[in-house]
A and B are shown apart, each in its own frame.
Chain A
Amino acid sequence: AQSVTQLDSQVPVFEEAPVELRCNYSSSVSVYLFWYVQYPNQGLQLLLKYLSGSTLVKGINGFEAEFNKSQTSFHLRKPSVHISDTAEYFCAVLNSGGYQKVTFGTGTKLQVIP
């Protein structure tokens, strides 16, 4: 079975500072990895995805994430955050090789401080 761990439930960061939101996964097979974002009072939307190829993937709003197979991690980064990045971020994993459920982490609330 697959699982996702997001160790940080909340991350406060000052505006224009860099941020890293951590995600670790567990699976016995190869995986696809995703980050979703939920802005206040809105539905979840896909931020970026890793399916194969380059381990550094870029998403919307200047976010990027790097797949590290040896560390089973998929941390999300942004070099300079904006107030509008305040949201909850969810890491998700899907076992590759077939139609299966997507498993989400517990989420990390990013609070950008002006």
Chain B
Amino acid sequence: GAGVSQSPSNKVTEKGKDVELRCDPISGHTALYWYRQSLGQGLEFLIYFQGNSAPDKSGLPSDRFSAERTGGSVSTLTIQRTQQEDSAVYLCASSLFVGELFFGEGSRLTVL
């Protein structure tokens, strides 16, 4: 399709395991964002990629979280040694024009 695609849509994992979440942005979009949505917390900014510039990692909550964007397209968010407080919906968005973000459906992560 033409929208932002995220996988998996649902992930259940055990505490301490590593998880990878994938985002395929809209073709040609130069900006890519990761947010985390928890109940009552709104959208928490995690990381922002813009073209070939160094990413803005200021929102990553700990060094267990990392993300990369390969070839200016697909992005992977990795959470190492997952904790229960990591349970949330992880949203990816891409953008071509200022502030106009197109969101994926999200990846719901449950850490048992």
| Interchain CB contact under 8 A, A100 and B106 | no
| Interchain CB contact under 8 A, B40 and A99 | no
Closest-by-CB residue of B relative to A42 is B105
Q: For residue A105, which residues in chain B have a CB less than 8 angstroms away from its CB?
A: 42
| Interchain CB contact under 8 A, A104 and B98 | no
Q: For residue A56, which residues in chain B have a CB less than 8 angstroms away from its CB?
A: none
Nearest CB of A to B46, in Å: 9
- Given A9-B40, A32-B98, A44-B91, are A103 and B103 also a contact pair (CB < 8 Å)? no
- Given A32-B99, A94-B99, are A107 and B42 also a contact pair (CB < 8 Å)? yes
- Given A43-B106, A100-B56, are A90 and B43 also a contact pair (CB < 8 Å)? yes
Partner of B103, one of A44, A49, A106: A44
Is A102's beta carbon under 8 Å from chain B? yes
Within 8 A of A (CB), among B95-112: 98-101, 103-106
Nearest CB of A to B2, in Å: 14
- Given A43-B104, A46-B100, are A102 and B41 also a contact pair (CB < 8 Å)? no
Nearest CB of A to B109, in Å: 16
| Interchain CB contact under 8 A, A51 and B103 | no
| Interchain CB contact under 8 A, A49 and B100 | yes
Alpha-carbon distance between A32 and B95 when the two chains are bound, in angstroms: 15
Is A92's beta carbon under 8 Å from chain B? yes
Q: For residue A36, which residues in chain B have a CB less than 8 angstroms away from its CB?
A: 101
Q: For residue B41, which residues in chain A have a CB less than 8 angstroms away from its CB?
A: 106
| Interchain CB contact under 8 A, B99 and A34 | yes
- Given A32-B98, A106-B40, A106-B41, are A101 and B104 also a contact pair (CB < 8 Å)? no
Closest-by-CB residue of B relative to A88 is B42
